[in-house]
A = this chain, B = another copy of it.
């Protein structure tokens, strides 16, 4: 069995619709490649009780918890101290980060707001990506920035340390002019014959014509290819002209 992951997106800006979350789609793909499939995402506000309760619920349920957002210097950046509360450990000066930031900023500008970014739960292991303020892991919880470019650097610094499983691979086919309702019964049969795969059906609309793409995901590439071969035959049996992959 592959290890499992969840993401906690922390930030009022996503819940207000100001910001389109771009981190989930990136992490979902990368975690699939690492064989740590993503099982759940929660988007929650910058509210301490909510953060603490959500972290404690999910770190007990999944092998890895990834948080994004709330580790900057401003009043709404409360993720780090909430993680300390969740683990019941002190939130204290992290000497390495503190020294680095003190050296980086002009004299007098390593102020109390920035010092908060050098304050971490006791026992935190740095996620060190060259950025002045790193993320950190504690237990199975990985705490990262919300800004996508920084989050990605942090995740890629962390990735080699994660113990993954079998990579999730994907095979697909699509056919214009085919409707989901016409293939649903046949698809149910194919899914039943390939129970270890996740067979997804996705209608598409392109330039006034419509069709269906079928995606098989799983850890057995040969099984996925066989299932897609069966879907291809199903499309043909309905007069369709299937093409490999998803529509461009």
Contact = CB atoms under 8 A, between A and B. Distances in A.
Interface of A: 9, 12-22, 24-30, 32, 37-45, 72-76, 105, 109, 111-114, 117, 147, 149, 168, 170, 180-185, 187-188, 191, 198-203, 205, 215, 217
5 closest A-B pairs by CB: A17-B28, A113-B184, A17-B29, A41-B43, A74-B201
A111 B217 contact: no
Nearest to A110: B181
B44 A15 contact: no
Nearest to A212: B74
A45 B39 contact: yes
Contacts of A14: 24, 28, 41
A168 to B, nearest CB: 7
12 contacts: A13-B215, A16-B198, A39-B45, A40-B42, A42-B42, A42-B43, A75-B199, A76-B199, A105-B181, A111-B185, A113-B184, A113-B185
Contacts of A19: 25, 202
Given A13-B215, A41-B43, A74-B184, 9 more contacts: A12-B198, A16-B200, A17-B29, A20-B22, A21-B25, A40-B43, A74-B180, A113-B180, A149-B205
A15 to B, nearest CB: 5
A21 B72 CA distance: 25
Contacts of A149: 205
Contacts of A39: 15, 45
In the complex, the count of this chain's copies comes to 2
A12 B200 contact: yes
Contacts of A114: 181, 184
Contact of A42 (B20, B28, B41, B202): B41
SS class, residues of chain A in contact with chain B: mixed
A20 B28 CA distance: 10
A189 to B, nearest CB: 9
B188 A75 contact: yes
A184 B16 contact: no
Contacts of A170: 16, 18
Nearest to A191: B75
A215 B185 contact: no
A72 to B, nearest CB: 6
A16 B28 contact: yes
Nearest to A217: B16
